[in-house]
């Protein structure tokens, strides 16, 4: 397939899937249940962290989690007492266990009592996405006196991870168009600098289309694929996540 034909094909798939009908059956429906900026951020980050496995299960587990917060994540996180965390003892999703929930609650309470938004944690001092993710990860685990099991749930590009879940979260927060799926509520990050959320579905389709050569799914593969997508749309390369993911999962 010629480059122009491939771009036309992928653009048509973006148009097909990047609309409000996409929301209902995707984990992004969870943060769409909120209107307050901080609620959206917390719901989006936590839901993205839980986003592995079947989408229906991810959605149901996320609903269960935020119901334990009375449907007001920011309010609960700011004002809850340590004893209030006991209600999360039985919450788990795959390898995300109660100890991980407790640490997330501890970090978010510490952070939001000092900051208005998570945006600065990623994009302070003009960091690019790669360094922004790594800076955030360092900040996130700064409350832990030693290495903890929760570290496996927040990936690092410096360790070669695809950082699929964080890149998806950043797409939700930064990317803005008129289609109503992504939120675009952050101003410091740039759409043109976003990196593709690479999972097995996106990787498989990209390889079939000849726009990803690297065999291993790692950060270098993310950089390779994103660079190809930037040639198709320098200003908004990760819009093609809608095409590649949806072809892989829905078609």
Residue environment code for 91-126, b if the CB has 16+ CB neighbours within 10 A, otherwise e: eebeebeeebbbbbbbbbbebbeeeebbbebbbeee
User: pLDDT tens digit string along 46-79?
Assistant: 999 999 889 999 999 999 999 999 999 999 999 9
Residue environment code for 17-56, b if the CB has 16+ CB neighbours within 10 A, otherwise e: bbeeebeeebbbbbbbebeebbbbbbbbbbbbbbbbeeee
Average pLDDT, rounded, for the chain: 95
Going by pLDDT thresholds of 50, 70 and 90, the confidence category of residue 1 is confident
What is the three-class DSSP state of 93?
strand
- What are the tokens at 10? 């992928």
**Domain boundary assignment for the chain:** 3-250
Phi-psi region of 164 (alpha: psi -120 to 50; beta: other; left: phi over 0): alpha
pLDDT of amino acid 120: 92
How much is the pTM? 0.95
Element (H, E) at 102: helix 98-112
Tell me if 195 sits within 8 A of 207, measured CB to CB. no
User: pLDDT tens digit string along 100-152?
Assistant: 999 999 999 999 999 999 999 999 877 799 999 999 999 999 999 888 989 99
Q: Is the pLDDT of residue 86 over 90?
A: yes
């Amino acid at each position: 397939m010629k480059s122009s034909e491939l771009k036309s094909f992928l653009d048509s798939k973006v148009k097909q899937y990047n609309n409000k009908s996409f929301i209902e059956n995707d984990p992004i429906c969870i943060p769409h249940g909120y209107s307050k900026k901080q609620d959206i951020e917390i719901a989006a980050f936590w839901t993205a962290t839980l986003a592995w496995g079947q989408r229906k299960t991810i959605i149901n587990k996320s609903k269960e989690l935020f119901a334990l917060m009375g449907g007001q994540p920011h309010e609960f996180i700011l004002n809850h007492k340590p004893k209030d965390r006991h209600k999360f003892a039985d919450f788990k999703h795959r390898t995300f266990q109660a100890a991980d929930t407790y640490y997330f609650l501890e970090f978010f309470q510490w952070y939001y009592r000092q900051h208005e938004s998570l945006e600065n944690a990623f994009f302070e001092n003009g960091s690019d996405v790669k360094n922004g993710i790594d800076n955030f990860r360092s900040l996130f685990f700064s409350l832990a006196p030693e290495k903890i099991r929760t570290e496996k749930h927040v990936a690092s590009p410096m360790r070669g991870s695809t950082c699929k879940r964080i890149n998806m979260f950043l797409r939700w927060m930064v990317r803005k168009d008129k289609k109503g799926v992504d939120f675009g509520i952050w101003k410091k990050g740039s759409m043109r600098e976003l990196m593709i959320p690479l999972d097995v579905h996106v990787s498989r389709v990209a390889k079939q289309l000849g726009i990803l050569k690297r065999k291993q799914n790692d950060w270098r593969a993310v950089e390779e694929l994103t660079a190809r997508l930037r040639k198709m749309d320098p200003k908004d390369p990760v819009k093609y996540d809608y095409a590649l993911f949806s072809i892989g999962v829905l078609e």
